């Protein structure tokens, strides 16, 4: 309805208005005829002003919509009087603008102004020849429609404001406001704000932004970071406002100046705070202060670390307190945030980082590294030799006087051959041999008590020193040659293939007698390893990496037996500490090996048949020839060259059928039977499998089509306004990003006269009627759809639309005879036949019952005659 009325009003405004001042209405027949012609002409010109889109009619309540600013003497409506009425009377809010002719012609003689009065309430009455009221007064409402005839104006010619540096971006710190007398419910009164000048504008970066609807001015992200009152203490903005939503070239505008002072930000992180641990002062204790730029902020603390309890609090003046004694040994520093929020709970700026360091006091005694610390010293060790380093611990802060430790030996057991055989360095804790060299046979073990102290505490620790035999004997193998061993190259990794053994006459279970084996020759790739039994010193030779006949067929191994403890001066390892061993590796027929497990390639789906799309390679460990073949080639799209491994297309590809085509490639050994028999002693051919994945890249080879079958599209008949139907379109090709670019057009000229089609979004379009003169029935609308691809493809679809009578918003169609359904006559015939069959069945049943009753009566009478009477 609105669409129709608007078009009608625009048509009226484009025609020349009729000036009633030029028409002299007299009571002659000629002038009445002229006025009658004028009314007929006016009827043609102003059809559509009224709520019923009629120019003339009987007197009844009506509403008219008229745009303000039109030329005067515009005809509104022609009322018709019913006898005995002969003339009309107009009252109400006429404002000297509205008048009515005696014959009922209502018009206005001045231009209307919506801003003066938006609605005029009028009353029209009919009078008889005596001036008595026949009908009425009847209410007539004149709605004055707005036009854009007022420019917006700012409330102030200049605005002053201030902002703190580092304020939160997007939070308004001031507003500018403008007003427009036009109707705010129409685009005429919809205002849009914009900053058009910023002075200074450093590096062409805007530091300020404005909400285009509310006029709220705030900082941009760059402004929040860069504003500095020292560099630029003030800025000047020029802000404009436009009506018509800023979308019309004929919109009005106004501008104002905004002066902004930049204030220093006092919302700054305080200096790091130091708190002495284990304080006995009453808590809470204030440790620092933060302050927001303006009063009224709400403060809170936020955690940076996950703590069971944050031992700090903040009051609403920004004072930060420690709420309990802190223990540096539990946690030596804290980092948390101070947050300022407004009354709505929204952050006013970025949180401030608060750093607290817990200052150490000497509240922890030294501790021993273990209950007993054990050192070993060889007999005959020189005086001054280092035996070991004893390191105590202190939980107090490192590199302070509280954690500096001092070492002193306070006891030695036994005191044989004399006291003071050992000393300890005062600060390093290095234990040294001091008195003389030791003999294991004299005293195999010494126990020392070492005092560890800091400036306030002392702790006694225990040290055990074992005198060990010197390593003056070398390991000797039980035999120098462990012979030959033949193994297949596929022998399992981890298999033990040989046990070797050497002996050492030094003290058992010491570093001097413990034996470590290593291979010093014949295994450069580390395929073998040796594990030593710590109780028997036996060495077990194991396979660490797979053997490979093709790399090394014969390993000439040399073993070396050594002690973890260094030999004493003058004693060296010799040939008795080594042994040899030959490992012969035999060949095993191994499957070919692909260079990779999965091969991938990409190709357009429209490549020509016979195009090379990929290549696979495999190598046989025995250097036999390889033949390639394909498996799971379900669609028969590919073939492979059996000799080279090159893969080609054999049929047209279709991404819509399968976008990722997966096949398996088999590599099989081939070669002369004599060569295989000679090399491997016979056996079947080995093969291995790899995967080949071919990704098909989409090309535009599918025209667009309807996403589904549309059979229920309808519009209610008769059509009172533009009818609109939405339909969905799809394309079997790969969807473009962010959305398809379908375009639409009507195929036939006749369709273009009745319909128009337009795009709604990437997948939907709108079919609309261009008029309302449609007959009831089914219309098939042919639509051409272009997918905008490369190359573009078009599809023509037919959209069925039914114009039908509607009941409660649904298409109503009288039910007709459906195929397979009986007619009324057939239904009656079937019903009568059914009744007839039922009647026959009931008659037969009734006759049978009568016969059975007569038979029973006769039999009963005969029985009574034969039975004697009894008293």
CB 547 within 8 A of CB 491: yes
pLDDT value of residue 681:
46
Q: Which residues have a Cβ under 8 Å from the Cβ of 585 and sit 6 or more positions away? A: 486, 487, 488, 489, 547, 548, 549, 552, 553, 554, 555
Question: What is the percent of the chain where pLDDT is above 70?
Answer: 87
Q: Which residues have a Cβ under 8 Å from the Cβ of 313 and sit 6 or more positions away? A: 284, 301, 320, 321, 323
Burial category of 59 from C-beta neighbours within 10 Å (exposed 0-12, middle 13-18, buried 19 and up)? buried
- Among residues 262, 166, 169, 263, the alpha carbon closest in space to that of 220 is found at 169
pLDDT value of residue 349:
83
pLDDT at 37 over 80: no
- Using pLDDT thresholds of 50, 70 and 90, give the confidence band for residue 821: low
pTM over 0.85: no
How many angstroms separate the CA atoms of 232 and 251, rounded? 36
Q: Please, which contacts does 817-821 make with residues 24 or more away whose CB atoms are closer than 8 Å?
A: none
125 strand-pairing partners: 89
114-123, 169-178, 234-243, 781-790: lowest mean pLDDT where? Answer: 781-790
How many angstroms separate the CA atoms of 437 and 444, rounded? 13
Rg (CA), the chain: 54
> Strand pairing of 458-468 and 372-378?
parallel
Taking CA atoms, 323 is separated from 1, 291, 423, 861, in Å, by 72, 20, 49, 121
CB 339 within 8 A of CB 300: yes
58-67, 283-292, 380-389, 586-595: lowest mean pLDDT where? Answer: 586-595
Per-residue pLDDT of 414-457, as tens digits, reads 998 899 999 999 999 999 999 888 888 789 899 999 999 999 99
Mean pLDDT of 659-669: 93
Q: Would you call 824 helix, strand, or coil by DSSP?
A: helix
If residue 340 lies in a helix (H) or strand (E), which one and from where to where? strand 333-341
Give CA angle at 258 (254, 263), nearest 5°: 165
The torsion angles phi and psi of 35, rounded to 5 degrees, stand at -65, -35
- Using pLDDT thresholds of 50, 70 and 90, give the confidence band for residue 824: low
Taking CA atoms, 48 is separated from 56, 76, 721, in Å, by 11, 10, 14
In this structure, what token pair is assigned to residue 285? 């204790």
CB 121 within 8 A of CB 139: yes
Mean pLDDT of 731-736: 72
- Using pLDDT thresholds of 50, 70 and 90, give the confidence band for residue 814: low
Tokens 């979308």 found at? 247
Q: How many CB atoms lie within 10 A of CB 598?
A: 10
Which one has a higher pLDDT value, 51 or 409? 409
Q: How far apart are the first and last CA of the chain?
A: 108
CB 96 within 8 A of CB 69: no
How many angstroms separate the CA atoms of 412 and 187, rounded? 103
Average pLDDT, the chain: 85
Q: How many CB atoms lie within 10 A of CB 207?
A: 24
372 strand-pairing partners: 462
Per-residue pLDDT of 487-545, as tens digits, reads 998 899 999 999 999 999 888 888 888 999 999 999 999 999 999 999 999 999 999 99
CB 154 within 8 A of CB 254: yes
Per-residue pLDDT of 314-363, as tens digits, reads 999 999 999 999 999 999 999 999 999 988 899 888 899 999 999 999 99
Mean pLDDT of 651-655: 92
Q: Would you call 5 helix, strand, or coil by DSSP?
A: helix
The torsion angles phi and psi of 221, rounded to 5 degrees, stand at -60, -40
559 strand-pairing partners: 519, 579
Q: What is the 3-state secondary structure (H, E, C) of 12-34?
A: HHHCCCCCHHHCCCCCCHHHHHH
CB 709 within 8 A of CB 689: no
In this structure, what token pair is assigned to residue 18? 């009729």
How many angstroms separate the CA atoms of 803 and 810, rounded? 11
């Amino acid at each position: 309805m609105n669409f129709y009325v608007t078009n009608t009003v625009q048509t009226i405004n484009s025609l020349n208005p009729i000036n009633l001042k030029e028409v002299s209405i007299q009571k002659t027949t000629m002038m009445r005829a002229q006025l009658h012609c004028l009314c007929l002409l006016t009827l043609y010109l102003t059809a559509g002003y009224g709520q019923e889109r009629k120019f003339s009619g009987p007197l009844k309540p009506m509403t008219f919509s008229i745009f303000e600013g039109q030329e005067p003497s515009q005809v509104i409506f022609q009322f018709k009087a019913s006898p005995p009425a002969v003339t009309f009377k107009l009252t109400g809010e006429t404002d000297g603008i509205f008048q009515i002719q005696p014959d009922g012609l209502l018009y206005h003689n001045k231009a209307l102004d919506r801003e003066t009065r938006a609605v005029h309430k009028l009353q029209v009455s009919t009078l008889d020849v005596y001036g008595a009221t026949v009908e009425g007064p009847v209410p007539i409402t004149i709605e004055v429609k707005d036009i854009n005839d007022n420019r917006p104006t700012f409330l102030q010619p200049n605005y002053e404001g201030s902002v703190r540096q580092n304020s939160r971006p997007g939070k308004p710190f001031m507003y500018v406001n403008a007003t427009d007398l036009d109707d705010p419910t129409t685009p005429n009164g919809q205002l849009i704000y914009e900053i058009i000048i910023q002075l200074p504008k450093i590096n062409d970066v805007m530091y300020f932004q404005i909400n285009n609807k509310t006029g709220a001015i705030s900082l941009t992200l760059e402004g929040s970071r860069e504003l500095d009152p020292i560099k630029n203490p003030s800025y000047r903005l020029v802000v404009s406002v436009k009506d018509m939503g800023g979308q019309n070239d004929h919109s009005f505008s106004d501008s104002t100046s905004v002066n902004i002072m930049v204030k220093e930000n006092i919302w700054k992180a305080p200096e790091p705070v130091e708190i002495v641990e284990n304080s006995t002062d009453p808590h809470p204790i204030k440790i620092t202060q933060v302050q927001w730029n303006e009063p009224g902020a709400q403060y809170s603390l936020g955690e940076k670390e996950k703590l069971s309890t944050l031992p700090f609090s903040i009051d609403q003046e920004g004072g930060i307190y420690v709420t309990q004694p802190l223990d540096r040994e539990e946690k030596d520093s804290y980092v948390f945030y101070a947050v300022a929020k407004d009354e709505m709970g929204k952050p006013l700026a970025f949180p401030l980082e608060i750093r607290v360091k817990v200052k150490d006091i000497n509240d922890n005694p030294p501790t021993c590294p273990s209950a007993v610390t054990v050192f070993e010293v060889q007999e005959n060790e020189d005086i001054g030799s280092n035996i070991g380093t004893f390191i105590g611990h202190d939980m107090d802060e490192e590199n302070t006087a509280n954690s500096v430790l001092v070492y002193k030996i306070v006891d030695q057991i036994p005191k044989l051959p004399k006291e003071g055989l050992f000393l300890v360095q005062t600060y390093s804790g290095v234990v040294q041999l001091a008195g003389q060299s030791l003999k294991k046979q004299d005293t195999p073990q010494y126990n020392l008590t070492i005092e560890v102290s800091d400036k306030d505490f002392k702790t006694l620790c225990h040290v055990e020193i074992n005198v060990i035999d010197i390593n003056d004997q070398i390991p000797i193998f039980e035999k120098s040659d462990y012979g030959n061993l033949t193994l297949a190259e596929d022998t399992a990794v981890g298999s033990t293939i040989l046990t070797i053994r050497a002996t050492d006459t030094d003290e058992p279970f010491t570093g001097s007698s413990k034996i470590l084996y290593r291979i010093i020759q014949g295994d450069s790739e580390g395929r073998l390893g040796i594990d030593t039994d710590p109780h028997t010193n036996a060495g077990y030779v194991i396979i660490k990496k797979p053997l490979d006949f093709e790399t090394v067929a014969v390993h000439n191994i040399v073993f070396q037996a050594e002690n973890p403890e260094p030999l004493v001066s003058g004693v060296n390892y010799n040939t008795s500490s080594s042994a040899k061993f030959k490992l012969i590796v035999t060949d095993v027929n191994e499957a070919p090996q692909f260079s990779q497990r999965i091969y991938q390639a990409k190709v357009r789906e429209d490549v020509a048949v016979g195009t090379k799309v990929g290549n696979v390679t495999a190598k046989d460990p025995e250097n036999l020839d390889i033949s390639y073949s394909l498996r799971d080639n379900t669609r028969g799209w590919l073939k492979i060259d059996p000799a080279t491994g090159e893969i080609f297309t054999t049929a047209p590809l279709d991404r819509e059928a399968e976008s990722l085509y997966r096949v398996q490639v088999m590599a099989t050994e081939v070669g002369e039977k004599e060569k295989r028999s000679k090399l491997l002693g016979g056996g079947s051919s080995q093969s291995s499998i790899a995967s080949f994945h071919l990704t098909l890249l989409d090309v535009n080879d599918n025209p667009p089509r309807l996403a589904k079958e549309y059979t229920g599209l309808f519009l209610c008949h008769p059509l009172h306004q533009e009818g609109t139907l939405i339909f969905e379109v799809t394309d079997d090709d790969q969807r473009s990003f962010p959305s398809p670019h379908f375009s639409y057009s009507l195929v036939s000229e006749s369709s273009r006269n009745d319909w128009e089609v337009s795009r709604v979004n990437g997948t939907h379009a709108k079919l609309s009627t261009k008029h309302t003169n449609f007959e009831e029935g089914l219309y098939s609308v042919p639509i051409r759809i272009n997918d905008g691809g490369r190359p573009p493809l078009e599809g023509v679809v037919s959209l069925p639309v039914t114009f039908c009578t509607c009941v409660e918003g649904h298409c109503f169609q009288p039910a007709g005879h459906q195929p397979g359904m009986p007619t009324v006559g057939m239904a009656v015939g079937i019903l009568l036949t059914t009744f007839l069959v039922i009647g026959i069945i009931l008659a037969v049943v009734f006759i049978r019952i009568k016969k059975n009753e007569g038979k029973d009566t006769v039999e009963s009478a005969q029985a009574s005659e034969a039975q004697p009477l009894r008293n």
